[in-house]
């Protein structure tokens, strides 16, 4: 069979921007030509005078393997017999001015281990997936009405070996996957996996968009990791970076001697804040490259969704630029219409192939309808990080607890817009780096109060409408902020307070999984009701979370001061009996042990707009959750009493 030359239909669709799986056309593919096994190489380089393949197989002598232009718009291709998986290669590109460039393959499936920069041939086939049961469950579940609790991980620093070496994908499957499952999370979010040259970019400045980083092993070993996640009932979300790319010489920058993946205009191309370049979303081949890449991670690696990084930097031309570098679009505005259309096309395309995918926007702006469908005028994501909630909550929590009353609005304002988008509440890596301090160390007060404050925050977060995300280390109260070249301070678990925090987060996560009121109606006002948002004087909030069954309702009270209230009255939605379902002040969590044991009976005393109320013990710096176990129909009860009957 002859598969050495890309077909004209695929080439046409690629240049039109509609070849949704262009990674099957471009790159290095093990194949046959006239019965001979080898590799077909194809690359887009429209400005090049000549393109050659160099590698181990030809002693890096480009004259032995020139490529041939197979499309008017600059796709080059050749077939080289005998090349095997694992071999190193690059493209040798002769520019119009006679300069020779040596570029890694933009569509390479594997890369040389840093500090090397070559691409490597890899055949992605021959992996036996065993996650069909997971895929079937995913198809039948609603992402909106299911629990979603994400553990954000940087694979290079979650744990390291005693000699400082990385854990491999296989070793992480054995260590990380059971840990996350036991902790009660539903999904792992992995910080950028695409190949990147510099460790301290954390993967956000990539050179190999189709190449899972070789730091931790091979592509097949990463498939094994994802397969293990799915078999453990864990979804996998990848941090994905379509907004910008690194300037390293072997990467995408001026790929064929001129701007290609980036804008021609430096004013549009430069991202001065990060020292990177913006993709040119006006070029159909570039849009094709990125949308195909999103599908590639789902096709090849069974990734369940993407967290799209820095959406604000796509939406606005002048994001992060000093005022003297500002530019305007054709209408005189700040928006980037090409990028906006790209995001809409991205989401529309992904959902056409993967209706149950997670497409999450990390967006710090007030752009409307981020999670509305494209056909309704939205950007088409199905989730958005709630950066406003995060900023307000951390600002509030960092305030000395005795002065929080004056900042009470920071607690309650998020409910004004909580249902305007489908939100994820993030406490991510961005909040524990660059001198911001760890979550625990942000908390005011003495040693005990720091832990109590953090437990109260986590309880409030878990009760607040929206899905959840916590960065690694937050679950045991790491004192130091994230150290991006070292692993987490696991030795802290030898200390009671950190061990108790770890247990608390695990139990809180499992409570979340058990209680449908905390997720079933997350994106509907029907799933939430204030009981009392106004107790600023005592820095207390009381609200209700609801599911479709009234008996599954929860009443959540959070005390954000260290003052203990032995009898704090709250209005409740149902007459009857309640039990304390969860208390962050429990002794096993490191709290003071101020609990509400046994059954709590309501009184027919109107409070907080409800005809019935409870007296509860409200511990210092704590979140307490109550659940009805016996609901009394007061009208029916009064009717019985009118006939001379009494309650049993």
> Which residues belong to the active site?
309, 362
Helices within 232-375 (DSSP H only): 266-269, 284-301, 311-315, 337-353
C-alpha span between 617 and 600 (Å, rounded):
11
C-alpha span between 581 and 155 (Å, rounded):
35
231 by DSSP, 3-state: which?
Answer: helix
Counting every residue written for the chain, the total comes to: 648
Q: Work out the angle at residue 129's Cα, subtended by the Cα atoms of residues 125 and 130, and round it to the nearest 5 degrees.
A: 165
C-alpha span between 68 and 624 (Å, rounded):
69
Q: Work out the angle at residue 479's Cα, subtended by the Cα atoms of residues 475 and 480, and round it to the nearest 5 degrees.
A: 110
CB contact at 8 A, 577 and 555? no
Token pair, residue 416, equals: 């004004």
Indicate the angle between helix axes 496-514 and 447-463, nearest 10 degrees. Answer: 10
Parallel/antiparallel/unpaired status of strands 383-385 and 358-361 = parallel
CB contact at 8 A, 47 and 98? no
Cα dihedral across residues 142, 148, 154, 158: positive or negative: negative
CB-based burial label for 639 (10 Å; 0-12, 13-18, 19+): exposed
366, 372, 374, 379: CA torsion to nearest 10 = 30
Token pair 């080439």: residue: 11
CB contact at 8 A, 636 and 574? no
C-alpha span between 110 and 120 (Å, rounded):
5
- Tell me the sheet residues that pair with 467: 424
Residue whose C-alpha is closest to residue 471's, from 173, 146, 183, 188: 188
CB contact at 8 A, 632 and 612? no
């Amino acid at each position: 069979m002859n598969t050495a030359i890309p077909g004209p239909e695929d080439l046409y669709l690629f240049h039109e921007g509609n070849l949704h799986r262009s990674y099957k056309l471009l790159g290095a593919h093990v194949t046959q030509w006239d019965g001979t096994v080898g590799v077909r190489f194809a690359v887009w380089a429209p400005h090049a005078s000549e393109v050659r393949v160099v590698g181990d197989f030809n002693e890096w002598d480009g004259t032995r393997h020139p490529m041939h232009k197979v499309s008017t718009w600059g796709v080059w291709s050749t077939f080289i017999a005998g090349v095997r998986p694992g071999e190193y290669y690059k493209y040798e590109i002769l520019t119009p001015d006679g300069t020779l460039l040596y570029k890694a393959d933009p569509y390479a499936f594997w890369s040389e281990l840093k500090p090397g920069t070559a691409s490597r041939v890899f055949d992605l086939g021959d992996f036996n997936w065993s996650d069909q049961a997971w895929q079937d469950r995913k198809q039948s579940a609603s992402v909106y009405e299911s629990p979603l609790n994400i553990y954000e991980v940087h694979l290079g620093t979650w744990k390291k070996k005693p000699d400082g070496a990385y854990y491999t994908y296989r070793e992480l499957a054995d260590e990380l996957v059971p840990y996350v499952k036991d902790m009660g999370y539903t999904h792992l979010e992995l910080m950028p996996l695409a190949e990147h040259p510099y460790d301290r970019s954390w993967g956000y400045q990539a050179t190999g968009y189709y190449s899972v980083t070789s730091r931790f092993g091979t592509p097949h070993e990463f498939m094994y990791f994802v397969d293990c996640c799915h078999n453990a009932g864990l979804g996998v979300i990848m941090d994905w970076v379509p907004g910008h790319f690194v300037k390293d010489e072997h990467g995408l920058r001026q790929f064929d001697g001129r701007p290609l993946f980036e804008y021609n205009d430096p004013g549009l191309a430069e991202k001065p804040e990060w020292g990177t370049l913006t993709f040119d979303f006006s070029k159909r081949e570039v849009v094709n490259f990125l949308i195909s890449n999103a599908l590639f991670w789902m096709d090849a690696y069974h990734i369940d969704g993407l967290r799209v990084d820095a959406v604000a930097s796509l939406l606005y031309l002048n994001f992060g630029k000093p005022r003297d570098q500002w530019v305007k679009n054709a209408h005189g505005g700040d928006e980037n219409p090409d990028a906006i259309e790209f995001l809409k096309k991205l989401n529309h395309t992904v959902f056409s192939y993967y209706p149950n995918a997670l497409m999450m926007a990390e967006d710090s702006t007030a752009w409307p309808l981020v999670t509305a469908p494209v056909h309704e005028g939205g950007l088409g994501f199905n989730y958005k990080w709630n950066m406003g909630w995060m900023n307000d909550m951390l600002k509030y929590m960092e305030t000395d607890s005795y002065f929080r009353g004056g900042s009470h609005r920071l607690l309650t304002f998020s409910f004004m817009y909580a249902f305007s988008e489908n939100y994820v509440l993030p406490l991510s890596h961005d909040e524990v780096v660059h001198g911001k301090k760890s979550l625990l160390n942000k908390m005011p007060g003495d040693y005990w109060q720091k832990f109590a404050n953090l437990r109260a925050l986590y309880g409030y977060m878990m009760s607040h409408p929206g899905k959840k995300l916590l960065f690694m280390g937050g679950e045991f109260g790491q004192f130091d902020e994230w150290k991006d070249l070292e692993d987490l301070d696991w030795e802290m678990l030898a200390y009671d307070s950190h061990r108790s925090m770890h247990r608390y987060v695990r139990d809180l996560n499992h409570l979340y999984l058990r209680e449908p009121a905390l997720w079933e109606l997350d994106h509907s006002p029907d799933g939430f009701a204030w009981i009392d948002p106004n107790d600023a004087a005592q820095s207390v909030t009381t609200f209700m979370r609801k599911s479709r069954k009234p008996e599954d309702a929860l009443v959540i009270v959070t005390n954000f001061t260290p003052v203990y209230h032995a009898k704090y009255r709250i209005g409740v939605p149902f007459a009857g009996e309640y039990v304390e379902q969860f208390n962050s002040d429990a002794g096993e969590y490191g709290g003071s042990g101020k609990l509400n044991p046994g059954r709590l009976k309501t009184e027919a005393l109107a409070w907080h707009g409800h005809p019935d109320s409870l007296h509860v013990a409200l511990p210092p710096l704590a979140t307490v959750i109550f659940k009805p176990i016996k609901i009394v129909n007061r009208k029916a009860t009064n009717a019985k009493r009118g006939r001379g009957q009494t309650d049993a």
